[in-house]
Amino acid sequence: MYVNDWSFLLVIATILLTPGPTNTLLASSGISQGLRRSAPLLSFECLGYVCATSIWGLVLNTTMQDYPFVINIIKVVSGLYIAKLGWRLWHQARLDPLQELMASVKPLELFIATLLNPKAVIFAMALFPVQTWLSVSNYAEVMGSFVLLVASIGALWIAFGSVLMSGRFRWLQPQWFQCLAALTLWGFAVWLLIHGIFY
């Protein structure tokens, strides 16, 4: 069986363009490291999304029937980790970027944040065609298109951060964006914790 309808990629692209834990870290790296030095992070983002969506798609459906509390545990762990990343960004925003004292985003941090990203659940459980999991060829086709989309949009977020660093928009300082990014991460963390504990 082959995948016939590729319109799901448009929905995925829209979701990938929205701010979230991974995009926030990519933009932050663009601010502190620039476009060229941040580009290698894209491979870790792609790897994180491939691992996450594959796990959710192949395991979660069967696990949820017998152990529904597993999703709550995953949400709490994800929320705590993303809150930690938010704290690090908030502290980083207080440093002077001109002196290059801002800590760079570590590849492993980006990989884990992507692995725990709630968007991966939506992609695997709701947006990927059912045929994705029925054959190796379908899986390769869908994942190949998905990875190209992830890398392209991730590069846009890094470029956005590097534009902030260039000072072209004087009204929007990198420190302000990083504070906003930290608040965004905390917002995601609170949402995950609430849904993990009370739902």
Q: What is the pLDDT along the chain (199 residues), one digit of tens a residue?
A: 566 678 889 888 888 887 788 998 998 899 888 889 999 999 999 999 999 999 988 876 677 677 778 778 878 887 888 888 788 778 776 665 444 434 578 999 999 999 988 889 888 877 888 788 888 998 999 999 999 999 999 999 999 888 876 666 665 666 777 787 788 888 878 888 898 898 8
- d(Cα 5, Cα 132) in Å, to the nearest integer? 11
CA–CA dist 75, 189 (Å, integer)? 9
35 within 8 A of 130, measured Cβ to Cβ: no
The domain spans of the chain are 38-198
Q: Within a 10 A sphere around the Cβ of 103, how many other Cβ atoms? A: 14
Full-model pTM: 0.75
Dig out the tokens for 39 from the structure.
Answer: 């580009």
Q: Note the pLDDT of residue 187.
A: 86
CA distance linking residue 114 with residue 21, whole number of Å:
7
What per-residue confidence (pLDDT) applies to 88?
Answer: 79
Tell me what pLDDT residue 82 has.
81
How many CB atoms within 10 Å of residue 180? 16
Q: Which helix (DSSP H) or strand (DSSP E) does residue 125 occupy?
A: none
